Amino acid sequence: MRILEIDEKKNLIKLHVEDEDDLWILHLILEKGDIVIARTTRDVSIGKESRRIPMTVELQVDHTEFQQYTSRLRIHGIILDAPEKFGIKGAHHTINLDLGDEIMIIKEKWSEFSLEKIKRQAEKKGKLLIALVDFDEYLIAIPMAQGVRILQERSLPSPNKENEGIIEENAKEVAEEIKSYLNTLFTNVVILAGPGPFKEIVAKHLQNVKVYMDSVSSATRNGLNEILRRDVINQVYRDYELAEEVKVMEKIMENLSKDTGLIAYGKDDVKKAVEYGAVDTLLVIEDYLSADTREEIEPVLEDVERKKGRVMIVPKDSTIYYQVKNLTGIVALLRFRIN
């Protein structure tokens, strides 16, 4: 995400969308009543014909729709302004926001939470690839703010005495697949992990690529869960909140099992902890940012950040989503006991 313009007097921010995570962040911060200005297309009647015409419209937001791992955010609302000749003011319309598009957002008042989300997203570094490899299988994935997207998961011909060169052939195939995804994502950083020496063979074919090596028990989804819990994620890409969320959740479960008194969950207990300035890290499922509960919950998030706490929004695709949801959807790791 690139911030193109900020006009504090008009409460206006203009943004350039660069990846799917940008769209997810916009989905989180756009509220009913916000105004957006963006390019779109619409069917309009011209004489006896109906044609789809590109135009710029000003839309008052009703709601947004975002589907994980897609490159489009649907913004539904009412047209406030559009070219006069088309006569569409007041009509319902949907802006399909895609990668590479620009959008102007005007709010009656920008919350600290929304501004911080945009600033953090704009400061994020390049994407990171994770490749788990073994002699007979491999998995390639990319961490995203929404969760982990598995790009490729395949078996390889097993090594045998009849074809001694199959290991080298497999290594070249996997390396080419990794390089192909790196080129698509415009990055050259990969975490290469596996249970044995095959990763070193693959690494030899990844020239001009920054490779971070690690070991896992298997080149499968179980191995992927292992790598997400490792410090290597922080070492390579500290901005990815995904790995941090998993670690925070582990600390929460450990404290709950030991009954340390350093955990608060449920809106009332969390609000009390926030008032005392006791919250170190707050996990909140994205459902709380829906129209029904946003007005109640957003001031709590802002208060946490004002008191130097950290807020993590847990998307539905996160591996810890249901753990947090089972703890009422809002749970805090505390700096000190409040009871």
**CA angle (15, 16, 17) in 5-degree steps:** 115
Residues 268 and 204 in one domain: no
Q: What is the mean pLDDT of residues 238-263?
A: 84
pLDDT digits (tens, 9 = 90+) for 44-53: 877 778 888 9
SS3 296: helix
Greater confidence (192 vs 210) lies with 192
User: Which residue bears the tokens 């539904």?
Assistant: 76
Residues 108 and 158 in one domain: no
pLDDT digits (tens, 9 = 90+) for 55-107: 999 999 999 988 666 678 999 999 999 999 888 999 999 999 998 899 999 99
pLDDT of residue 124: 64
Residues 98 and 24 in one domain: yes
Residues 112 and 146 in one domain: no
Phi, psi of 59 (to 5 degrees): -120, 135
pLDDT of residue 177: 95
**CA angle (98, 107, 14) in 5-degree steps:** 45
Q: Which of 123, 155, 182 is the last residue of a domain?
A: 123
pLDDT of residue 243: 65
- Examine residue 301 and state whether it is found in any structural domain, yes or no: yes
- Examine residue 339 and state whether it is found in any structural domain, yes or no: no
Q: Which of 102, 123, 144 is the last residue of a domain?
A: 123
Residue 147 pairs in a beta bridge with 144
Distance between CA atoms of 66 and 312, rounded to whole angstroms?
19
pLDDT, mean over the chain: 88
In this prediction, residue 261 has a pLDDT band, given cuts at 50, 70 and 90, of very high
Per-residue CA distances from 39 to 98, 176, 217 (Å): 10, 38, 48
Domain total for the chain? 3
Residues 204 and 272 in one domain: no
pLDDT digits (tens, 9 = 90+) for 125-172: 557 899 999 999 999 998 876 667 889 999 999 887 777 789 999 999
Residues 8 and 111 in one domain: yes
Identify which of 288, 292, 275, 305 has the alpha carbon closest to the alpha carbon of residue 113.
305
pLDDT digits (tens, 9 = 90+) for 289-334: 876 788 888 889 889 988 989 888 888 877 889 999 999 999 999 9
Residues 41 and 81 in one domain: yes
- Examine residue 26 and state whether it is found in any structural domain, yes or no: yes
- Examine residue 255 and state whether it is found in any structural domain, yes or no: yes
Residues 62 and 81 in one domain: yes
pLDDT digits (tens, 9 = 90+) for 103-136: 999 999 998 888 888 987 887 655 789 999 999 9
Q: Supply 306's token pair.
A: 């004002």
pLDDT of residue 244: 74
Percent of the chain with pLDDT over 90: 56
- Examine residue 68 and state whether it is found in any structural domain, yes or no: yes
Identify which of 277, 278, 313, 274 has the alpha carbon closest to the alpha carbon of residue 294.
313
Identify which of 92, 83, 101 has the alpha carbon closest to the alpha carbon of residue 23.
101
Q: Which of 107, 123, 139 is the last residue of a domain?
A: 123
Which residues span the domain enclosing 304?
245-334
Per-residue CA distances from 230 to 125, 191, 227, 243 (Å): 19, 11, 5, 8
- Examine residue 207 and state whether it is found in any structural domain, yes or no: yes
pLDDT of residue 87: 87
SS3 191: strand
Greater confidence (263 vs 242) lies with 263
**CA angle (239, 215, 312) in 5-degree steps:** 25
CATH of the domain at 90: 2.30.30.870
